[in-house]
Structure 1
């Protein structure tokens, strides 16, 4: 079977498995258990736009399990069908951010592409944060200023309570009648550490909306 599960979908499945396990341990009412099982299956299936019969069958197997050992074995089996993040080279990153002549890039060899929805890193020297993401068949890159809050808050991408920073990027989208000096910044609170954000993500809607707000029609391609 070809890889078809993205990182955020895997996280969602893992979350639903946690809910199922808790239900099996604490609830004796069979109707409630059945309702939770149905809800878990529906949320997992709804996380995918299209599925083959084999993929659908694989995902629905989760509701047939009850023991911790079964669930762990199931999660391990999903590792083989994880769709990895596209491997982006240092040269490709430089092309994405070609206007940044002093770009500091992460160590690509140390990245866990299998459990990554977006590639994010920050440059402390310039107070800049960078995001690379596969969008509509292209790899896009956005950069912006970030201001650490030095406290925990709700990340707009993963919706979890983590240490966040205010990330602000200049939007490239311009109204048709905008003046030459038109300027618009788009900002929100984002996990300071992208590896934690990637572990928490179960949906890409907020991230993709933010990227669209920043890049408009200006899509940077590395291929």
Structure 2
């Protein structure tokens, strides 16, 4: 039985590295350069994981010996059974994360392939709000923020890719604040959460943002 161990952002690393290796093989003839790139590709993929079994590491390192487009495609497809999906969550659980929103617009969970989700997000156009759900330290965290589309492309804080951005502003209560005292934290993030999930290769910035707005 295949034991899932690859999270979405790690799978994105693998795809990005294999694409780079493929392009290098098509454009570089120097065998010493190719040998180095093959080695670095495998190392970069392995370094995306904090721990791996010997079998898992051996499976991932097969990338360094690939030659043809078919072999690269087969390598990527062979890893899909090992994808660790976003933890199961129900609409009722989501509602509890946003108790002040009695008319909360819900995401269509049935249409989402949770294998390719690092963070769950959706936009309520009627209220200009972006909602995010992320599993953090053993529990789901819900983030709600007002969004302003920029209609421009730039680098998203979460995925660090050049995408169409929106500015999200999240209200947060500072430590030792008065009952009605709030502050706001804002960041530029992808307008399209699906595109962001397809691009994100590291969760550090995402988790740093979540910690900052939880305070």
TM-score interval (norm. to shorter):
over 0.9
Q: How does 1:120-135 map to 2 (within 5 A)?
A: 120-135=121-136
Unaligned residue ranges in structure 2 (runs of 5+): none
Structure 1, residues 78-105: CA drift from partner, whole Å, max 9, x if none?
1000001112211111011111112101
What is the Cα deviation at residue 184 of structure 1?
2.0
Distance 1:84 1:157 in 2: 19
* 1:175 correspondence with 2:175: yes
Distance 1:212 1:184 in 2: 15
Other-structure match for 1:83: 84
Other-structure match for 2:35: 34
Distance 1:179 1:84 in 2: 40
The DSSP-based 3-state class of the residue aligned with 2:9 is helix
Distance 1:21 1:169 in 2: 41
Q: How does 1:70-109 map to 2 (within 5 A)?
A: 70-109=71-110
What is the Cα deviation at residue 130 of structure 1?
0.5
Other-structure match for 2:194: 195
Length, aligned pairs only: 214
Q: How does 1:49-88 map to 2 (within 5 A)?
A: 49-88=50-89
Larger RCO (CA under 8 A, 6+ residues apart): 1
* 1:214 correspondence with 2:208: no
The DSSP-based 3-state class of the residue aligned with 1:190 is strand
What is the Cα deviation at residue 181 of structure 1?
4.5
Structure 1, residues 106-165: CA drift from partner, whole Å, max 9, x if none?
111111111111110010111110011111221111101100112222111111111110
What is the Cα deviation at residue 175 of structure 1?
3.1
TM-score (norm 2): 0.95
CA-based RMSD of the aligned residues comes to 1.2
Distance 2:67 2:212 in 1: 43
Distance 1:46 1:136 in 2: 22
The DSSP-based 3-state class of the residue aligned with 2:158 is coil
The DSSP-based 3-state class of the residue aligned with 2:14 is helix
Distance 1:58 1:99 in 2: 47
Q: How does 1:124-163 map to 2 (within 5 A)?
A: 124-163=125-164
What is the Cα deviation at residue 179 of structure 1?
4.3
Unaligned residue ranges in structure 1 (runs of 5+): 217-223
The DSSP-based 3-state class of the residue aligned with 2:99 is coil
The DSSP-based 3-state class of the residue aligned with 1:47 is coil
Other-structure match for 1:221: none
